[in-house]
Amino acid sequence: MFEEFQAETVRLENASIFVRHGGGDGPPVVLLHGHPRTSATWHRVAPLLVRRGFRVICPDLRGYGRSRGPAHTADHAGYAKRAMAGDVVAVARALGHERFAVAGHDRGSYVALRLALDHQATVSRVALLDCVPISEHLTRITPEFATRWWHWFFFAQPDTPERVINADPDAWYRGDPDRMGRENHAEWRAATRDPDVVRAMLEDYRAGLTVDRRDEEADRAAGVRVRCPALVLWSLRDDLEELHGDPLAIWRDWADDVRGHGIDSGHHMAEEAPEVLAAALGGFLGDGGPPGQSTG
């Protein structure tokens, strides 16, 4: 994986972030993974973007994979998306980039959203993959959503999820090495067997239902919006559109310039449809045209 990429750990004030980065002197793009993946989930997409001329940066989110975060607190603020977004900005600057594009999938999409809202002078473009904002999910709770996404509410419980998952992580987190790629699978499996990583991933979800939800609601009330161009992509073989309807309609309440479409893939699109995803990201990130040309 990641041939010709460099790997290093960037030490921050209250986190250490493992990051892979590679490519030439082209425009930088940060790729943010979801749960329970690591930066290795991008192993098929990142080289394709490098070939398109981009400088590609793939960190492990705070607490995931080989990254580490602060001690856990009752308010879960150490694993808030605002804190994770701050990590990404600090890592990009440590690598010499003051401004960059970002693509986030699953939990990483919430970090990408926070970057676009909090760091508008830093983020040039944002791609949001298989997601709507956390607060939008929560205002649309139905029996179908609660049944299919029950893990959100289970992970939010104190202590019990750790005991259940760590008792048999291989049974809880199941992955196919042939579909994921064997090295990616091995890295993912090592991470999910680490109780410290499991606890941090659960703190991510606990923050999502508390501090992250409040931060999103405060932004909506204050009229804070995503001002840079936004690309929304979703998996046609997952349930986002089935549960919530057209994702673009939801995102237009949050962003000025939204375009996007569904991808014929299951949820882990970076692993299942890397060529299609890289083409969509490359075309969007390389589009220097004016904002406001939204498509459905």
Other Cβ atoms within 10 Å of 139 Cβ, number: 10
Cα gap 132→167, rounded to integer Å: 32
Place of tokens 């991510």: 204
Cα atoms found within 13 Å of the Cα of residue 102, Cβ hemisphere only: 31
Cα gap 296→285, rounded to integer Å: 17
- What are the φ and ψ backbone dihedral angles of 109, each rounded to 5 degrees? -70, -30
Residues 36/90, Cβ–Cβ less than 8 Å: no
Residues 54/26, Cβ–Cβ less than 8 Å: yes
- 287 in catalytic set: no
Q: What strands, in cross-sheet order, belong to the sheet with 6-11?
A: 6-11, 16-22, 55-59, 28-32, 100-105, 123-129, 230-235, 258-263
Catalytic residue selected from 119, 257, 267, 287: 267
Of 288, 259, 277, the closest CA to residue 49 belongs to 277
Structural tokens at position 262: 């569904």
3-state secondary structure of 293: coil
- 106 in catalytic set: yes
Catalytic residue selected from 76, 97, 105, 106: 106
The DSSP call for residue 252 is T
Q: Name the residues annotated as catalytic.
A: 106, 267
